[in-house]
Amino acid sequence: MTCIVGIQTDNGVVLGGDSSGNAGWVRMHRADPKVFVNGAYAIGFTTSYRMGQLIRYADLPKPLDRVDEDLNRFMATDFVDGVRQALKDGGFAKKDAEREEGGTFLAAVSGRLYRIESEYQVGWSLDGYEAAGCGWEIAMGALHATRTLKAETRVTRALEAAAHHSSGVCAPFRIIHAP
């Protein structure tokens, strides 16, 4: 359970996440962050703390100076292949009926925000913002409603809205800036 929120701006990406670690009806306020920087990437994860730990400490492929379609291609191939390998090596990736699955997370690189789905699909939203986790729908509404505010304020308000309306989301929130 979680809520990860990201906004792409002219100055980079603002990424925020909550601190909830849930197991059934029990919630733990985790000190280890769901949003972090790994080399050229800012990452915010959902799904599993183990998945997040593997991505956080993995040697991910380094992006070159790419723009437009080249960056999209890199994310859908080299980056995803690096994540897949890290999840396999760490014993996290699942394979069912020849289909491989990992987990969902947001990734910021070179000023662009991507959403990576559990089947490793890479998405880039025209809205310039994205959310993931059990509070994602609530956060997306808050992000849409606060379009005129500064990015960090929008991220905070989206996380607050998700925490207010979802039992799987809680403060404290961590917000990071990625160029």
Report the domain count for the chain: 1
HSE-up of residue 66 (Cα within 13 Å, Cβ side): 17
Residue 131, pLDDT > 80, answer yes
Give SS3 for 45: strand
CA 158 from chain centre, in angstroms, equals: 14
Question: What CA–CA distance (Å, rounded) separates 41 from 61?
Answer: 10
Q: What is the pLDDT of residue 68?
A: 59
Concatenating the DSSP letter of every residue in 114-161 gives EEE-TT--EE--TTSEEEESTTHHHHHHHHHHTTTS-HHHHHHHHHHH
Domain span at residue 58?
4-178
Q: What is the pLDDT of residue 161?
A: 98
Radius of gyration, CA atoms only, the chain: 15
Residue 65, pLDDT > 70, answer no
- Close Cβ partners of 30 (under 8 Å, ≥ 6 residues apart): 19, 20, 21, 49
Return mean pLDDT, the chain.
93
Question: What CA–CA distance (Å, rounded) separates 49 from 54?
Answer: 9
Question: What CA–CA distance (Å, rounded) separates 153 from 173?
Answer: 12
Percent of the chain with pLDDT over 70: 97
Q: Report the CATH number that the domain containing residue 150 is assigned in CATH.
A: 3.60.20.10
pLDDT confidence tier of residue 23, bands split at 50, 70 and 90: confident
pLDDT confidence tier of residue 6, bands split at 50, 70 and 90: very high
Among residues 55, 51, 44, the alpha carbon closest in space to that of 79 is found at 55
Helix residue spans in the chain (DSSP H): 49-57, 69-74, 80-89, 136-145, 151-165
pLDDT confidence tier of residue 26, bands split at 50, 70 and 90: confident
Residue 66, pLDDT > 60, answer no
pLDDT confidence tier of residue 153, bands split at 50, 70 and 90: very high
Least confident of 55-59, 91-95, 161-165: 91-95
Higher per-residue pLDDT: 70 or 143 = 143
Q: What is the pLDDT of residue 179?
A: 76
Question: What CA–CA distance (Å, rounded) separates 146 from 12?
Answer: 18
